[in-house]
Amino acid sequence: MTINEKISRLRQAMQAQGIDAYLIPSSDPHQSEYLPDHWKTRQWISGFTGSAGLVIVTQNHAGLWTDSRYFLQAETELKDTAIELHKQIVPHAPEHVTWLQENLKPGATLGLDGSLFSVGQNPLLEKHLHSKQIKLDYNIDLIDAIWLDRPALPTGTIFEFDEQFAGESRASN
């Protein structure tokens, strides 16, 4: 499936669920730096393989926000797709929030898989969008429904990182 076909399928799923915009981060539920293949949703939907960035899709726009470390890479990887590069001026700045405020109409709904954001990110996003009467649906994973050959969740063994390497015990927190 091409990037444009993936975007089209996402838009169909959004329309069926009453979602006006869908936000896809570069994260997993543990906020890991290195993602298991199952959680590389932003890479899957966009083709952009850099480690930092996010995608927002609406019915008439698809955009990737990333910082200057990845501008050349993103331009190459997004070429001939329906995804527009939004160059972040400051790395990790929430410029996408401003874009959402300016481009979504009052009463619009932004969908996202809330498990892929930190505890503080969801309320902060809601606070910024509330002033524009934009609603958030944190409980919708539209990617799982369209990524038909999605890699399975990792099943590796869990281990505790030894205190001698961590510097303190997990009990000390």
Question: pLDDT tens digits, residue range 138-171?
Answer: 999 999 999 999 999 989 888 888 888 888 887 8
Q: In the chain, pLDDT over 70 holds for what percent of residues? A: 98
Edge-to-edge strands, sheet with 21-24: 84-87, 62-66, 54-58, 21-24, 109-111, 135-137
61-100 pLDDT, tens digit per residue, is 999 999 999 999 999 999 999 999 999 987 666 789 999 9
With respect to residue 27, please indicate whether it lies within any of the assigned structural domains: yes
Mean pLDDT of the residues in the chain: 92
Total domain count, the chain: 1
Residue 153 counted as domain residue: no
Question: 27: domain CATH number?
Answer: 3.40.350.10
Asked, for residue 75, whether it belongs to a domain, the answer is yes
Tell whether 136 is covered by a domain.
Answer: yes
- Domain membership of residue 169 (yes or no) is no
Q: Are strands 62-66 and 54-58 parallel, antiparallel or unpaired?
A: antiparallel
Place 32 in a pLDDT band, splitting at 50, 70 and 90: confident
Mean pLDDT of 19-39: 94
| Residues whose CB falls within 8 Å of the CB of residue 126, separated by 6 or more in sequence, listed in order | 136
Question: Does 157 reside within a domain?
Answer: no
Residue 168 lies in a domain: no
Residue 162 placed within a domain: no
What number of CA atoms fall less than 13 Å from residue 1's CA on the CB side?
Answer: 16
Number of Cβ within a 10 Å radius of residue 4: 13
Residue range(s) defining the domain that contains residue 89: 3-148
